């Protein structure tokens, strides 16, 4: 018998560098489709300079996130960093700022979807249709997330790569056809066009270009070899995004230069401009000949699709963050409640989805941009401060990755990237708050209401404001000591088959082998991978106990949480780890009606050992009482 590490609450680490990069770029890269117009409306000809400045801040911020994430590979981003560096109060403060980021990400992405679909019907580019369609998209995606419809990771990766190469192609074509350095220089009249105030406001708004930087941090607990893949993927995202934002604004302003203090790139559709669909504006203002129409349609459809996915990512981010906050008792458990049937955090989706819809009603894209800057700069500043404090308070703590630009002073390594990045994000936050009154009022109300809610809730629960109190996961008694050369019996989502166990017993008896039961639990995309699912976990424990009744002491077992489509990979890995002599599956039709589930198909394709399928009708396990 060989001792195996406990897997009751282990996480399925399957995401490599390419998957992390593609997922993160899909979120970060989507912002080019609206950030360009938002920034140009303020910065005019100085827009390329704004994106250079924000790119430097983004570089420092990414370094902070890499160092902290490799120290604590768990979902939560700045909220998690603040918990480890400060206390639970500051963790909530950061989380509430993150919540605003996710809400605005969903709202602003949905708002711009109809603008790009306007390539088919012009009224979609203007009010009220852009607002109506945007809200409809939020409602539809909210409903889909409640019903637990899974997004396809492979489709998202493919679309992200297509998006990136499309943007690279636009840059290449733009450099060849319209790029003109002299035109760029001549249209900047700093102090007048743009004014100093508008230029300063444009910088924090420009940070909307990096919507989704927390994505890799939130996926760290699902990343394999995170000490290497997280830094590598983040660096690739930084390089790719910076390259696009370095060239595309210059090409856009070469095609649509500032004249008499205005540019079509910063004007709304009702004034003949392209602020609502800036990338489409670049295409329309390049001499592409016979390809003009087809490329416009292609870019319009691609942009709408990418923004649609980004909207969904915002909704998923809200639901995951709410669930995490509930686990740490920062918000009432009711807010993170899972739907009794679909096992999705439906209350959080409804509440914060409604808030996202409300932010869209005024139809002010610039307001959405400044509100994102408010929440993001606050969250980023706390992340920088957390890394600095941990460097000073815990200098000998293991750090798998050190950020660049460090200075030794008084036996401490001072992270200049966190100091400079934190200074930049703090100044940006103060700027957007001081120079935009609406942002000041709404942002202050948002943070004040959140803090009031937190204080009242913690007091009613008899909990100190600064102490961490995490809801304990149910501790189920599951045996992890398994014989190598065992027969592996697999049950998906707690579906039990007595015939499968009896088949395994017959095979094991002949060779005196052990039997190991693996139960996979499918976790919805909008809940953390370590979400507490009492019913599913109890079902899994019951399946293992029922298997023991038939197989006796030779039966061991555990359950594992996986994302949709990853069960097959986990089963193959398990079979290889225990050198399984055979895998026994009960037949279970998947959602497409196929007799073989996707997990069975994966195992049959890999075939790490003999695979046996039993045909007895299956039935749900009884929940343990």
Asked if 35 and 42 touch (Cβ cutoff 8 Å), the reply is no
Q: What is the pLDDT of residue 336?
A: 83
pLDDT, one tens digit per residue, over 335-378 is 888 888 887 889 999 999 999 999 999 888 999 999 999 999 99
Q: What is the pLDDT of residue 343?
A: 79
The residue that leads in pLDDT, 345 or 475, is 345
Q: What is the pLDDT of residue 11?
A: 43
Asked if 425 and 97 touch (Cβ cutoff 8 Å), the reply is no
* Mean pLDDT on 117-123: 94
Question: Among 72-76, 168-172, 268-272, whose mean pLDDT is lowest?
Answer: 72-76
pLDDT, one tens digit per residue, over 88-104 is 999 999 999 999 999 99
* Predicted TM-score of the model (pTM): 0.84
Q: What is the pLDDT of residue 220?
A: 78
* Mean pLDDT on 539-557: 88
d(CA 378, CA 204): 11
d(CA 78, CA 84): 10
The residue that leads in pLDDT, 391 or 341, is 391
Asked if 152 and 19 touch (Cβ cutoff 8 Å), the reply is no
Asked if 88 and 466 touch (Cβ cutoff 8 Å), the reply is yes
Joined tokens for residue 111: 């708002």
Q: For residue 343, what are the contacts with CB-CB under 8 A and spacing of at least 6?
A: 148, 524, 527, 533, 535, 536
Question: How many Cα atoms within 13 Å fall on the side-chain side of residue 100?
Answer: 29
Q: What is the pLDDT of residue 5?
A: 40
Joined tokens for residue 579: 């050198």
* Mean pLDDT on 179-203: 91
pLDDT at residue 254 greater than cutoff 70: yes
Asked if 526 and 565 touch (Cβ cutoff 8 Å), the reply is no
Q: What is the pLDDT of residue 473?
A: 62
Q: Which of 230, 236, 210, 235 is nearest to 218 (CA)?
A: 230
d(CA 447, CA 450): 5
pLDDT, one tens digit per residue, over 442-451 is 999 999 999 9
* Mean pLDDT on 452-481: 81
- Across 196-223, b (16+ Cβ under 10 Å) vs e yields eebbbbbbbbbbbbbbbbbbbbbbbbbb
Instruction: Sketch out the chain's domains with CATH numbers.
Output: 2-460 (1.20.1740.10), 481-620 (3.40.50.620)
Asked if 495 and 620 touch (Cβ cutoff 8 Å), the reply is yes
* Mean pLDDT on 176-192: 90
Neighbour tally for 291: CB within 10 Å: 12
What value does the mean pLDDT of the chain take? 87
Neighbour tally for 193: CB within 10 Å: 20
Kind of pairing between the strands at 619-620 and 495-496:
antiparallel
Question: Among 25-29, 238-242, 383-387, whose mean pLDDT is lowest?
Answer: 25-29
Q: What is the pLDDT of residue 296?
A: 94
* Mean pLDDT on 41-49: 93
Per DSSP, the three-state class of 469 is coil
pLDDT at residue 588 greater than cutoff 80: no
**Residue 589: which pLDDT band, with cuts at 50, 70 and 90?**
low
* Mean pLDDT on 371-389: 94
Q: For residue 456, what are the contacts with CB-CB under 8 A and spacing of at least 6?
A: none
Backbone angles phi, psi at 610, to 5 degrees: -65, 140
Asked if 557 and 478 touch (Cβ cutoff 8 Å), the reply is yes
Q: Which of 44, 32, 25, 57 is nearest to 247 (CA)?
A: 32
Asked if 388 and 423 touch (Cβ cutoff 8 Å), the reply is no
* Mean pLDDT on 136-146: 93
Q: What is the pLDDT of residue 6?
A: 42
How would DSSP label each residue in 59-79?
A: HHHHHHHHHHHHHS-STTTHH
pLDDT at residue 482 greater than cutoff 70: no
d(CA 520, CA 571): 9
Asked if 496 and 543 touch (Cβ cutoff 8 Å), the reply is yes
pLDDT, one tens digit per residue, over 489-534 is 999 887 888 899 999 888 887 767 889 999 999 888 777 777 878 8
pLDDT, one tens digit per residue, over 312-344 is 888 988 888 898 898 899 999 888 888 888 878
The residue that leads in pLDDT, 9 or 418, is 418
d(CA 140, CA 155): 19
d(CA 141, CA 311): 8
The residue that leads in pLDDT, 343 or 407, is 407
How would DSSP label each residue in 106-148?
A: HHHHHHHHHHHHTTT-GGGGSTTHHHHHHHHHHHHHHHHHHHT
Q: What is the pLDDT of residue 623?
A: 40
Asked if 44 and 267 touch (Cβ cutoff 8 Å), the reply is no
d(CA 38, CA 372): 12
Q: Which H or E run includes 348?
A: helix 346-360
DSSP at 287: -
Q: For residue 389, what are the contacts with CB-CB under 8 A and spacing of at least 6?
A: 85, 86
Q: What is the pLDDT of residue 408?
A: 92
pLDDT at residue 78 greater than cutoff 70: yes
Question: Among 32-36, 210-214, 324-328, 474-478, whose mean pLDDT is lowest?
Answer: 474-478
pLDDT, one tens digit per residue, over 232-253 is 988 888 888 888 988 999 999 9
pLDDT, one tens digit per residue, over 8-26 is 444 445 677 877 887 788 7
d(CA 317, CA 338): 15
């Amino acid at each position: 018998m060989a001792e195996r590490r406990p897997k009751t609450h282990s996480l399925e680490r399957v995401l490599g560098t390419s998957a992390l990069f593609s997922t993160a770029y899909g979120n970060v890269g989507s912002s080019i489709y609206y950030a360009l117009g938002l920034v140009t409306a303020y910065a005019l000809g100085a827009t390329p300079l704004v994106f250079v400045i924000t790119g430097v801040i983004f570089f420092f911020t990414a370094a902070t996130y890499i160092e902290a994430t490799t120290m604590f590979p768990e979902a939560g981003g700045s909220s998690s960093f603040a918990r480890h560096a400060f206390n639970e109060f500051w963790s909530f403060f950061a989380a509430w700022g993150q919540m605003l980021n996710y809400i605005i990400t969903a709202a602003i992405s949905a708002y711009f979807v109809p603008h790009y679909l306007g390539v088919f019907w012009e009224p979609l580019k203007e009010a009220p249709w852009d607002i109506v369609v945007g809200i409809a998209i939020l409602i539809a995606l909210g409903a889909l997330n409640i019903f637990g419809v899974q997004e396809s990771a492979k489709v998202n990766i493919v679309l992200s790569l297509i998006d990136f190469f499309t943007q690279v192609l636009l840059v290449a074509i733009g450099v060849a056809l319209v790029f003109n350095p002299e035109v760029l220089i001549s249209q900047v009249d700093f102090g007048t066009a743009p004014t100093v105030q508008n230029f300063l406001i444009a910088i924090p708004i420009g940070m909307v270009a990096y919507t989704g930087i927390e994505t890799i941090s939130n996926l760290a607990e699902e990343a394999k070899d995170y000490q290497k893949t997280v830094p590598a993927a983040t660096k690739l995202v930084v390089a790719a995004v910076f390259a696009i934002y370095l060239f595309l604004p210059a090409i856009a302003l070469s095609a649509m230069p500032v004249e008499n203090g205005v540019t079509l790139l910063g004007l709304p559709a009702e004034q003949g401009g392209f602020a609502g669909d800036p990338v489409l504006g670049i295409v329309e203002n390049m001499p592409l000949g016979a390809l003009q129409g087809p490329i416009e349609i292609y870019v319009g459809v691609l942009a709408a699709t990418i923004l649609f996915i980004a909207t969904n990512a915002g909704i998923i981010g809200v639901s995951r963050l709410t669930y995490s906050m509930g686990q740490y008792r920062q918000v009432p458990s009711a807010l993170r409640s899972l739907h009794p049937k679909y096992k999705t955090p439906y209350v959080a989706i409804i509440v914060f989805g409604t808030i996202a819809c409300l932010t869209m009603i005024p139809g002010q894209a610039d307001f959405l941009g400044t509100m994102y800057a408010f929440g993001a700069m606050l969250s980023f500043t706390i992340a920088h401060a957390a890394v600095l404090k941990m460097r000073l308070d815990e200098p000998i703590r293991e750090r798998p990755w050190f950020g660049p630009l460090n200075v030794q002073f008084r036996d401490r390594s001072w992270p200049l990237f966190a100091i400079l990045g934190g200074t930049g994000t703090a100044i940006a936050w103060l700027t957007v708050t001081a120079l935009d009154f609406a942002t000041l009022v709404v942002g202050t109300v948002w943070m004040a209401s959140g803090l009031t809610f937190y204080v009242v809730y913690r007091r009613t629960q008899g909990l100190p404001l600064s102490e961490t109190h995490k809801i304990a996961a149910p501790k189920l008694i599951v045996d992890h000591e398994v014989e190598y050369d065992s027969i592996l019996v697999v049950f998906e989502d707690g579906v039990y088959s007595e015939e499968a166990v009896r088949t395994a017993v017959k095979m094991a008896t002949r060779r005196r082998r052990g039997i190991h039961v693996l139960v996979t639990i499918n976790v919805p995309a909008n809940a953390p991978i370590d979400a507490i699912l009492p019913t599913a976990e109890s079902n899994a424990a019951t399946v293992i106990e029922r298997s023991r009744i038939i197989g006796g002491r030779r039966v061991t077992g555990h359950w594992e949480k996986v994302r949709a489509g990853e069960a097959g990979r986990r089963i193959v890995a398990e079979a290889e780890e225990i050198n399984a002599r055979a895998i026994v599956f009960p037949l279970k039709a998947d959602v497409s009606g196929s007799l073989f589930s996707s997990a069975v198909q994966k195992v049959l394709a890999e075939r790490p050992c003999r695979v046996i399928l039993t045909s007895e009708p299956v039935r749900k396990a009884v929940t343990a009482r």
